[in-house]
Amino acid sequence: MESTGPHPLDLRIPIAQAPIGGSTCPELAAAVSNAGGLGALALSWSDPTASSHKVLTTRALTDRLFYGNFALAFEPVSLVSALAAGLPCVTFSFGDPSPWVDAVRLAGAFLGIQVGSAAEARRMVGLEPDFLICQGVEAGGHLQSDRALGDVLAEVLDLATSIPVFAAGGLATGKDLRRALDLGAAGGVFGTRFLATHESRAHDALKARLLEAKPDDTAVTDCFDGGWPDTPHRVLVNGTLRAWRAAGEPRDGRPGEGEVVGRYPDGDVALRYAMDHPTHGVTGDVLDMCLYAGTSVGAIHDLPPAGDLVRRLWAEAQGRPESGF
């Protein structure tokens, strides 16, 4: 499928940034959107005041479309304030968005819903979203799918009929995007790739770790369940995961349980086995925190400005050298 024509969301470039938790920020979202892609804020854990501020700041940096994500394993406590602040597009993941669809529609915002299986897609098309996001098991972070992206995407596309479907999981290069577009996706969602950018709030030590990681350095586990239980996640294998595995993966009495591995500038702490990943300003044994990353990590070799990355990925996807863009 050629995506050079008008895009359903009026994107000039069919590249979406994934909601990469605390590593999102207005500067990253705006850089992606200003370059022609779709920037994102992860708002699941922001209180109403903080979400409103993030939306207003992003709107001051771009007049283009961006979205806020709510993972519905958590009550979307800041949805109303984010919409009131002018959030132009919302995506929901990890739960049933039915109770929240009217609020999004009444605010006039676009609606996207993430699915990870044909069964979920069948339920979600009934809510008539503006787009779906199909996540495959290659993805970094929490997983809604246990199947390869190519397999689940084919099934979701069949069910979605005229609803555009973005592909997420394991995409790091323009060639990866081209493959997803050729399968019929309306665009590609890149998470780990945007962690390794200039604007991302990922901790410098995590950015450095991403650059040296090999394709086989990730694993799917339920090790880092503090704050978000019962949901598998893909991470870089680190000291915490290795020690837990060596101990036989016990649920109780885990090695180093309760230890502080990260301290935030505001005094908050991250405990070993917590869901938090290291962001800017955290001190401590930050590489023992949860290091979310997709299988895409082996193809990440630099820390470019996010806008340059969007343009480069799109040039690669079109088979053009970067300098030709």
For ligand FMN, the binding residues (CB under 6 A) are 18-21, 23, 42, 44, 69, 71, 93, 114, 135, 138-141, 168-171, 189-193, 195, 277, 292-294, 296
Based on CB atoms, which residue is closest to ligand FMN, 160 or 177? Answer: 177
Per 3-state DSSP, the chain is made up of helix, strand and coil in percentages (nearest 5) of: 35, 20, 45
Residue nearest ligand FMN, CB atom distance: 191
Rounded to whole angstroms, the maximal C-alpha distance in the chain is: 57
Report residue 312 as tokens. 């480069």
Surface-to-core class of residue 183, CB atoms within 10 Å of its CB (0-12 exposed, 13-18 middle, 19+ buried): middle
Report, in Å, the least distance between residue 315 CB and ligand FMN: 19
Report, in Å, the least distance between residue 228 CB and ligand FMN: 10
Based on CB atoms, which residue is closest to ligand FMN, 276 or 285? Answer: 276
Report, in Å, the least distance between residue 22 CB and ligand FMN: 8
Based on CB atoms, which residue is closest to ligand FMN, 21 or 187? Answer: 21
Report, in Å, the least distance between residue 281 CB and ligand FMN: 16
The packing angle between helices 306-317 and 174-183, to 10°, is 50
Based on CB atoms, which residue is closest to ligand FMN, 211 or 247? Answer: 211
Based on CB atoms, which residue is closest to ligand FMN, 163 or 171? Answer: 171
119 Cβ contact partners less than 8 Å away, ≥ 6 residues apart: none
Length of the chain: 325
Report, in Å, the least distance between residue 173 CB and ligand FMN: 11
How many alpha carbons fall within 13 Å on the CB side of residue 266? 4
